[in-house]
Structure 1
Amino acid sequence: MTQEKDELDGLVRKRIRALRVAQGWSLEELAGRANVSQSTLSRIENGQRRLALDQLVTLARALDTSLDQLVENATDDVISSPVIDAAHGLMRWAVKADPGLSVVRQRMTEPPPDSPARLRAHPGREWLVVLSGTAVLLLGNRRIRIETHQAAEFPTMLPHAIGTAGGPCEIMGIFDRDARRGHQRGDGPDAGAPHDRGAPPA
């Protein structure tokens, strides 16, 4: 139980930092928005200060998310295998119905970023399927290989990024409204598209 609590504690701290970086805010700017001192926020992100409920509520509000999403635990069910109907050239892959879903197809040629600072987090949920090649999903502390015709579903409040495992790969990404909004707040010409190394992941 203590280990699980420590893991969630560390995950929440990473989310706070990743959400701040995703907004392009300095420690000073988020501290001002959350009405805490810059040194307090720095110690919260670095694990040098206990996480207090009242501060988490304030930080969640300042980061445009909810407390529930900020402290959501990691999901173990990341990889799934769609049903392939080779005879008819079809691939069936069930996702939760949502009228706000967006679908984007992208070819990637770069590996995922090698710096934890490049991982991004935001409210929402994403699904992706690898159409060809092999992708690597960085999800919190996990590094997950996703092979051709495998799919992944994950909450975007986990700091994450995706790239290739050595050669080009093609993926199809599906985003709910919140995840799409997170991508649209990204930087560069590819904002709004699935993650790659050139465009920081949402």
Structure 2
Amino acid sequence: MEQESSDLDQLIRQRIRSLRLARGWTLDTLAGRCHISPSNLSRIETGRRRIALDQLVPIARALDTTIDQLVESGEDQDVVIRPQACDTPGYTTWLLSRERSLGGVTIAKMRITKQEPVPADTLPVHPGHEWFTVLTGTARLQLGERTILIQEGNAAEFSTMTPHAISAHDGPVEILTILDQNGERAHLRNPASH
């Protein structure tokens, strides 16, 4: 238990020093911003002084972060995401982000084998914005009456208020897509709407 506390203290000290250096600040600069003497701040960073909560509050504020971010354990979550394939007719999807962990967006890899265009009068619409890049193959993007072929290595970005669908052109296509909450609901929970 004492080792865990010591490891966390060391992690907090490293974060304080790293954030200070990333801003190009000297000890004097940060000390002035958080109203702690430069010598005390130096001892906090080097481990020669215990870190007290009443010192963390002004340090975190001065570094434009939160106490939670300074003290969160580096062990709390696995950094490796192990995506599971989710198959529906014509689509296989792998979620590559944790639940809306990046400011309300979901990142997914999709393998699309469906090659038939969607009839223009049945193209779905939903609030939001969508972005994708083609990893392999060629994607067919239907935007209203337009059909745009997106080649491997290229990307597309569009308002999802425009009737739209993504399908494969001349063989399977793999894309990496970023969806907001509305896009996730429309495309990943109801993939037939592609």
TM score, norm. by length of structure 2: 0.47
TM score, norm. by length of structure 1: 0.45
Report 1 or 2 for greater relative contact order, CA contacts < 8 Å, sequence distance ≥ 6: 1
